[in-house]
Amino acid sequence: MGLWWRISLLFSLIIFVSACQTRPKEAEVSGIRTPVSVEQLLALPILNDQNWLDRSKQANFKEANQADEGDGLSSSLKKRDWVMVTLSSFCPCSQSHMAHLNELAHRFPEFQFIGLHTDRVLEGPELKKFYQERQLSFPVLDDRKLTISSALRAVTTPHVFVLNSEARVLYQGAVTSASDFSPQNRLYLQEALQARASGQGFRPQQTRPLGCPISYNLKGGRG
């Protein structure tokens, strides 16, 4: 590993640690219907769990009527609420929230959690190894081309979106009230899921996301 490469990596890390404190302005999307489709999601490579689709077909989606609605998995997924969150292998803000996101995915199995990987710092086997080592219970999709992230108008990692079965945004913004996870933070996403699961309203429906900016100029940058 060359000296210049080490210096560049250290400089980038310093930038992204400070970027975790930024609060970029995001578009107002709560309540609107997003252009994200199940078919788009199913077209993205899965980085951490290649057996997710098979298990989903067998365990969670037996009620799908393939004869009437076409693809059984696709039509069944369309009946569920979703939690989509942008992630990064490089951003410390994203990494600090992964265990909490994993815990929520276990606590709220009625929601389909999906991670969207957005940066190009790691490639190939190293990228898959990164997510496999985190042992997340939900699939992480390769969105380095930012197809889904741009459709959601995501601006940071992490940036979370709770969508209903019609792809309408129920909540979007920060996972918690700070860029680095702590149980003492206000747990925005957890509160939103609890309210949705109990049929209650939730406020705020939108918070400003805290994290590393997504680099749309690079179409899958380091944030």
Pick one of 3.10.310.30, 3.40.190.10, 3.30.2130.10, 3.40.30.10 as the CATH number of 3-218.
3.40.30.10
**pTM for the whole thing?**
0.79
SS (H, E, C) the chain: CCHHHHHHHHHHHHHHHHHCCCCCCCCCCCCCECCCCHHHHHCCCECCCCCHHHHHHHHHCCCCCHHHHCCHHHHHHCCCEEEEEEECCCCHHHHHHHHHHHHHHHHCCCEEEEEEECCCCCCHHHHHHHHHHHCCCCCEEECCCCHHHHHHCCCEECCEEEECCCCEEEEEECCCCCCCCCCCCCCHHHHHHHHHHCCCCCCCCECCCCCEECCHHHCCCCC
Per-residue pLDDT of the chain (223 residues), as tens digits, is 455 545 454 444 444 444 565 444 444 445 567 778 878 888 898 998 766 655 555 444 444 434 344 444 565 566 789 999 999 999 999 999 999 999 999 999 999 999 999 999 999 999 999 999 999 999 999 999 999 999 999 999 999 999 998 888 999 999 999 999 999 999 999 999 999 999 887 888 999 999 999 988 755 555 5
